[in-house]
Structure 1
Amino acid sequence: MSVSDKTAIVTGAGSKRGIGRATAHTLAAAGWNIAILDLDEGSAKDAAQEIAEQHGVQAVGIGCDVTDEASVESALAALDGSAPPVGALVNNAGITSPTPFLEVSGEEWDRIFAVNVRGAYNITRRVAPGMAERGFGRIVFLSSVSAERGGGVFGGVAYSAAKAAQLGFTRALARELGPNGVTVNAVAPGLIDTDITGGALEGERKQELVAGIPVGRNGRVADVADLITYLCREETGYITGATYDVNGGSHIH
C-alpha cells in the first residue's frame, strides 16, 4: 500500500497564496494524487494543472460549494470515476470574519458556520465511509489559533466559535474512526502570510503582530503544508485526535 495509489482531497485550495494550494503541492511531492475542490472552478482547474505538471501525479480540479450537499455529491461523483480511491481529506475551505459580536448578524454567523463546520461535515460524511471500509484514511481539519486563544488575531467570535467546533469534530471523529484505520487531526495555524492576511501584514501593524511571536516572523504556508503532509503519511498512524499548533510560539498553552 502506498500513497501513490490514493487521492488526497484538499478543499478550498484554489487561492494562489493560500495554505490549501501549498498543501496540495506538498502532498503531491510526497506522491499523493490530488483533487482540488474549490468554489472557483477556474482556480481549482488551474491549481490541478500546475500540480500535475510539477509533480507528475494525477490531479483534478472540480468546482464545488462545500456548503451545498448536492454540489459535494456531484463533485465526488466526478472524482469517483476519474481518480484513485480517497485516502486523505484536508478540510481547508473556510472563511473568516472580524465582525465584533455585538454587531454580527444571524446571517453572517450562519455563513461562517456553513463554510467552516457544515461544509466540513458535508464532505467528511461522504468520504469517511469509504476510508473506513478500506481500512485507511487521514483526515485533517484546518482550525485556527483563534479557537484556542479566543480570537484576537483576525477572527471575531463567529470565526473562533466555528474553528473551535472543528476541534470538537476532530476529537470525536478520531475516537469513532480509529478502529477503522482512519486518523483525524487538526492543525491550528497562527499568523500565516496568505491572501486573507496579506493586507493586514504591512507596516506598523505587522511589526506589532510579529513582536508577539517568539520566533520573530509570521508563518509561511509551507510551515502548515509540511505538517499536514506529515499527518497524512501512512507511517503517522498512531497520532489521532490531536491539535497541532503552528504559531511560532505566539500562543503557548
Structure 2
Amino acid sequence: MQPISFKPKAFLFDLNGTMINDMDYHSKAWHHIINNDLGRELSFDEVNKEMYGKNAELLERVFGKNHFSESQIAEISMEKERRYQDAYGPYLSLIDGLDVFLKKGKEAGIKMAIGSAAIPFNIDFVLDGLNIRPYFDAIVSADDVAISKPNAETFLKGATALGVHPSECLVFEDVPKGVQSAKNAEMKSIVITSTHNEGDFNDFDNILGFIADYNNPILNLLF
C-alpha cells in the first residue's frame, strides 16, 4: 500500500460493490437462473466465483463457448437484470458517505467517470434511481469494450473520455480483477472492502488504501 500524497485529476468508479453494495443480489439472480432456468447445478459459492466481467463472459465460463446464440445471451442477460432490479430496487442506496464524496469531488473540479462491466440498463437503474448522473462526465459500460476487466480497456477509455492522462486517474474498486485492470492501465486504486478483505489484494502495489465506506478520513488527503 502506498502513502497518499497523490492528487488525482479524475476519479474512475466501478459500480457494483463499489458505489452500491448489491453484489449479493446479482449472485442470487444468477444462481436462480443458472440452476432453475438453465438446468445447471451450481452452489451459491460456485456462482459467486464467476461474478465478474460481462454477462456473456459469465455464461461462456459456466456453459462453454457457443452454447448460447447471441440472441439467447441477450435474453438471458436482460431477464437476470430484471430479477436483480426487482429484488434490489427497494434497497437501492449509495455506500455510506459516497453522496458527500461525490459533491466534494465536483466542487474540487475533479472529473469523474464510471467504468463498469454492467450493461447500460443497470447503470441507468443506479444513476437515475439515485439522481447522481450529473456528477459523471463519462460512462464506460460493458457495451463499450471488447474485453472486460482485468483488461485495461475499461479504465483507459474512461480516462480518454475525460481527457485525463491515465497516470492522473484514481480508480475505486472492490475486487482484485478491477484493481488489476487499474494496474494494467497504470492507475492507482483505492479498494472498498464490501466484497473482499484486504488479504485478497496482497499482490498489488498500486493500492493507496482500503476503506469500508466513503466516510474514511484518508479520502480527505485526495483533495
- TM interval, shorter chain, is 0.3 to 0.5
- TM-score normalised by L of structure 1: 0.40
Scaled by the length of structure 2, what TM-score is found? 0.45
